[in-house]
Amino acid sequence: MFMPETCRLLCAFTTTAVQQVLKLLLEIGYHRCFFPQAAINQTSLFYIPQIADAIDEYGCHICKAQATGYHFGAQSCSACAAFFRRTVALRKQFKCTTGNNNCSLHYSTQTCRACRYKACLAAGMKPASVQPKKSELQKRRAFCTVSGLKRNRKFAIRRLVRVFEKGQNKADKKCEPPVSSTGLLELLLREQRQQLTEIEIKKPKTQEPSNRQTCSAPPMFTNLLGFAGSSRTASKESHLEFDALNHLINEEMKIGERRRIMFCERPVGILLGLNRTCPFTWEEIRPLRFRHFRKSLRTHILLIYEWLRSWPGYDGFSNIDRIAILRNCVLYHTILDPCYITVQIGYPDRFVMHNGQYVSSSKTSEEGWEDEQEISGETKKRIYKPLMGMMLDELVVPMVTTRVSFEEFVGLKAFISLQSSLAEVSNETKVVLHGMLNALCRTLHQYYVDISAKIAERFGNLILLLSNIIAVGQQFVEKHHEIAFFDLWQLDGLLLQLLKNAQ
């Protein structure tokens, strides 16, 4: 509220100047604080006509609050506009609380809704300006549009647009929802298969091998065809095209064979061969030396990269997408591989790394935690003991408790690698990753059926582990950022680059 001195000062201005000051204050919403109704009625020093004119010019014509613009044809505040929109859209009917239909309306008091709606109409609000309530069909998100595909030539494949338009026309005739992205993919795959079938029928038997490549499908669509088994409407033949779980099992066994060759001292006949057992034995593991561990990190990253390259469709990804996926794979494989090796031969006394070296997880032993030339034992314990404890509690113990099998472990690695990469890749790559995830779910489900396991329980335990892996991954990245920032010890440069933008 203005003091008398302020009022006398305002009186010294001309009428025009006072009007300008008041209008400025009203525009920024200060009239409620500085010009309460009581003060206007009691103070004779104000220019009452000018204040009233300013309030009429900038106030809501319904409740006298600060107007925010013209809503539905009348100058009003946002509250009255929202009230009018709800009333018209929901077709509400009100009765006056007093029965007189002449209640006073002011923003500072509770108002009669019937009289408020009547005042809205009197102020000039038009019910026809209110958009009708959207149906459930209209609320659904449009995942892609024909115009959007036509504008972006990178994705606007003519065949894709034509198939989408066909699907839209069919949906309009049947009064069904528009074709979704999944339905669009199914239509596209169906047409692609039909074209490939026609090519095979028309292709001469004496055709040269070099000419066959010119008739093959583009790489991206070939990848999609491989994962078509994930769709509910896919044919039975497509289910046989890609067995995701067996593919991952074979790749994991190859990684085990390579680890034996690189880190184990055995006869050649024992080193070679694919099997599902741990690549190391209890006698072969040795205390961790950080210098050797650092040198083995580049080899570890190479194994992960080879695992990635084995994916059908990986060669069709852009370089940016490949790097994004590699970052996530390096992070989570570096966490999961030691955990599963520990489950196989180290738990509960030793935590075994990917190179066959270990640190003691027992409070009474200092194996692997000794001082070294590059890093002190105190720094080792401060950085890595809390991280190791978290990995044991969040991952190793649940794996031991639920008796995670080799098949479930390789599925878990693929789940976290694919799922964590979805938000960082292009739309084209997302389609392929979704297909791979669906194919993995299908083949893992079939694995549970074959072994007569409790499918819901086993699958649920596996999915619930994903949140634990993500939590450990965040802590893992933070610790290694701390190491790099304070230069606590010299980590592998490539690993730091990949972890820099992880998570």
Each residue of 326-384: pLDDT tens digit?
999 999 999 999 999 999 998 889 999 999 999 999 988 999 999 998 888 998 899 89
Confidence of residue 477 (pLDDT cuts 50, 70, 90): very high
Q: So where are the chain's domains?
A: 4-129, 138-217, 282-500
- Nearest to 465, CA basis, from 411, 422, 428, 427: 411
Please list the residues that pair with 70 across neighbouring strands: 75
* CATH number, domain 282-500: 1.10.565.10
User: Terminus-to-terminus CA distance in the chain, angstroms?
Assistant: 54
The proportion of the chain whose per-residue pLDDT surpasses 90, expressed as a percent, equals 48
State mean pLDDT over 447-461.
Answer: 94
The CATH fold assigned to 4-129 is Erythroid Transcription Factor GATA-1; Chain A (3.30.50)
Whether residue 190 has pLDDT greater than 90: no
386 contact partners, CB below 8 Å, separation of at least 6: 475
Question: Where in 28-126 does DSSP place strands (E)?
Answer: 69-71, 74-76
Distance from C-alpha of 229 to C-alpha of 246, rounded to nearest angstrom: 15
pLDDT one-digit tens code per residue, 257-315: 999 999 998 888 888 999 999 999 999 999 999 889 988 999 999 999 999 999 988 88
Q: In the numeric block, which tokens belong to residue 493? A: 């440069």
**pTM of the predicted protein model:** 0.55
CATH fold match for the domains 4-129 and 282-500: no
Whether residue 463 has pLDDT greater than 90: yes
- Computed over every residue of the chain, the mean pLDDT equals 77
Give the torsion through C-alpha atoms of 479, 485, 486, 490, to 10 deg.
80
Question: How would you classify the pairing of strands 286-287 and 357-360?
Answer: parallel
Lowest mean pLDDT among 159-173, 236-250, 335-349, 408-422: 159-173
